[in-house]
Amino acid sequence: MVLKEKEIRELIAKKEIEVEPVDLELQLNISSLDIRLSNKYYKYPKELEPDIEMLDIKNPYLNILEHDFILELGTVIEPGQFIIAESLEYISVPEDISLFLDSKFRMNKLGLQLVNTGWLEAGYEGTILLCFTNVNDFPIRIFAESRVAELVFMK
């Protein structure tokens, strides 16, 4: 069963669902909660591109990801660029609630595609890593605290 706004609000008030930081007036929708970008993200370093012909699932090169920060004036994602961003919110849900992560349509309209939509297990706890690709022909500027995804709560 998909939880509605009133149920989500009540569970947060009872601290059965924890979301920090959160602005319910801004982020809570009829049946979902908007997720914002923190100022942290990761990317594959440009200087390694000539050395890496392909990523391999048995050796995914995750240890070479560069940690970076979204600046106050925003950070530009170039066409075809892939980044892994961290959610601003720390989420904790009980064992009887699972989460469904989906992108915000306004981000899709820009060509910024969230590629890891789907289920987060019941009892999930932590920030959420958001994988984005710019599928547009134009660069896209992102900002910390932008609402980029939404969580649906399922009991």
Q: Which two tokens stand for residue 61?
A: 């090169």
Q: Report whether 40 contacts 67 (CB < 8 A).
A: yes
Q: Report whether 50 contacts 103 (CB < 8 A).
A: no
Question: Which amino acid is residue 115, in one-letter code?
Answer: V
Between CA 30 and CA 61 the distance in angstroms is 40
Between CA 63 and CA 117 the distance in angstroms is 23
Q: Shortest CA distance to 83 belongs to which of 138, 34, 134?
A: 134
90-92 β-sheet, strand order = 18-20, 90-92, 125-126
pLDDT of 126 > 80? The answer is yes
What is the mean pLDDT of the segment spanning 59-67?
70
Note the pLDDT tens digit of each residue in 19-50.
999 999 999 999 999 999 999 999 877 766 55
What is the mean pLDDT of the segment spanning 62-84?
88
Structural domain 5-52+62-154, CATH architecture = Distorted Sandwich (2.70)
pLDDT at 59: 67
What are the backbone angles phi and psi of residue 28, rounded to the nearest 5°? -85, 125
